[in-house]
Structure 1
Amino acid sequence: MSLHKQPELKDAVLNLPQKEKDKLLVRLVSKDKMLMKQLHFQLLENKDDLEDRIENLKESIHDLFSANRHSIKNIPQYSNYRELQALLRQGSGLINEHEKVTKDKYSEMECRIFLLKEAFEQFPRLFEASAVHAAFKLQLYVKARLKTTAGKFDKLHEDLQFDLSDDMQQVLDFAQTQHLM
């Protein structure tokens, strides 16, 4: 239930003594992990910490691919398509969490492009045309990621676009050659 639908409760909370409000705030914040991460970032971290977060995120994405390099082969088979799609979803989840915590659009784009580029470079054959249903699902997923990434890229300031343009162009070129766009 929303606090806005109960104005008398909202007024009662606002009229509590400061010490009581502080206790309630700490209890409520501790129940929401995402809110805790957001507050930690906003209140306790600085620009250097953001750069560390970005590097750690890129390293996590790279480690995802490295750790699964032996289980996913660059061979068009059902299991490889499924595992790569799961890997891309996991990487997207890491990026989504990073964006929710930091609200940094540039690093979000940088990491989304990095994720797609890693997948395209390491598993190019899995993006070729195939009659396997899992390949079709992977391609649909990647098409949606490409569309989202391209849309967000276009909304970035032109100076930020310039910094990412080479990598974005590589991703788009590969996608066009594989008819993913």
Structure 2
Amino acid sequence: MSLHKQPELKDAVLNLPQKEKDKLLVRLVSKDKMLMKQLHFQLLESQVDLEDRIEQLNNTLRNLFAENRHTIKNIPQYSNYRELQSLLRQASGLVNEHEKVTKDKFSEIACRIFLLKEAFERFPTLFEASAIHAAFKLHLYVKARIKATANKFDKLHEDLQFDLHEDMQQVLDFALANRLL
């Protein structure tokens, strides 16, 4: 239940002594892992730490693709479509967490473009037309990721867009050529 639906409880909490509020706050924060990560980033980290986080995320994403280069083949088979979609979902989850913690839109979009570009460069055959249902699901997922990334890209400041423009254009060109858009 929301605290906003119980104004008397909200008033009672606000009227608690500071020491009691501090204890409650620490107990509540410890129950939410994402909130803990967000607070840690906001309160204890600097711009240098953000750059380290971005570099670490980029390395993790590169390693994910490198580790799966042997399990996912560029051959239109059911298992390859499923494995690639699973890989993209896993990588997207890492980017989502990074964005929720840091609120850094530029690195989020750069990583999303990287994911799409890597998938297209490494597995172009998997994005050709296919009658396999897993291919259809992969293509739907990738279409949605492209649209979401393009929308976020369009909302970036034009100076930041300039830095990502070439890669974004490559993603869009590939998607158009393969009828993903």
Q: Same fold (TM over 0.5)?
A: yes
AA at the equivalent of 2:106: Y
Structure 1 residue 119 corresponds to structure 2 residue 119: yes
Query: 1:46 and 1:113 mapped to 2: Cα distance?
Result: 25
**Deviations 1:69-102 (Å, cap 9, x if unpaired)?**
1111111100000000010011111111111111
Structure 1 residue 132 corresponds to structure 2 residue 105: no
Structure 1 residue 47 corresponds to structure 2 residue 47: yes
Query: 1:94 and 1:58 mapped to 2: Cα distance?
Result: 10
Query: 1:26 and 1:32 mapped to 2: Cα distance?
Result: 11
Query: 2:47 and 2:118 mapped to 1: Cα distance?
Result: 26
> How many residues get paired?
181
Structure 1 residue 179 corresponds to structure 2 residue 154: no
Q: Please state how far the C-alpha of 1:67 moved relative to its aligned partner.
A: 1.0
TM-score when normalising by structure 1:
0.98
Identity %: 82
AA at the equivalent of 1:119: A
AA at the equivalent of 1:179: R
Q: Please state how far the C-alpha of 1:163 moved relative to its aligned partner.
A: 0.6
Q: Which residue number corresponds to residue 108 of structure 2?
A: 108
Q: Which residue number corresponds to residue 148 of structure 2?
A: 148
Q: Please state how far the C-alpha of 1:170 moved relative to its aligned partner.
A: 1.0
AA at the equivalent of 2:30: S
Q: Please state how far the C-alpha of 1:175 moved relative to its aligned partner.
A: 1.0
Query: 2:33 and 2:41 mapped to 1: Cα distance?
Result: 12
Q: Please state how far the C-alpha of 1:130 moved relative to its aligned partner.
A: 0.8
Query: 1:144 and 1:77 mapped to 2: Cα distance?
Result: 22
The 4+ residue runs of structure 1 with deviation greater than 2 A are none
Q: Unaligned regions of 5+ residues in structure 1, if any?
A: none
Q: Please state how far the C-alpha of 1:121 moved relative to its aligned partner.
A: 1.0
Q: Which residue number corresponds to residue 78 of structure 1?
A: 78
Q: Please state how far the C-alpha of 1:179 moved relative to its aligned partner.
A: 1.1
With 23-32 and 170-179 compared, the bigger mean Cα shift is at 170-179
Q: Which residue number corresponds to residue 13 of structure 2?
A: 13
Q: Which residue number corresponds to residue 165 of structure 1?
A: 165
Q: Which residue number corresponds to residue 56 of structure 1?
A: 56
Q: Secondary structure at the match of 1:71?
A: coil
Query: 1:30 and 1:83 mapped to 2: Cα distance?
Result: 35
Q: Please state how far the C-alpha of 1:165 moved relative to its aligned partner.
A: 0.4
Q: Secondary structure at the match of 2:75?
A: coil
Structure 1 residue 27 corresponds to structure 2 residue 27: yes
TM-score when normalising by structure 2:
0.98
Q: Unaligned regions of 5+ residues in structure 2, if any?
A: none
Structure 1 residue 95 corresponds to structure 2 residue 99: no
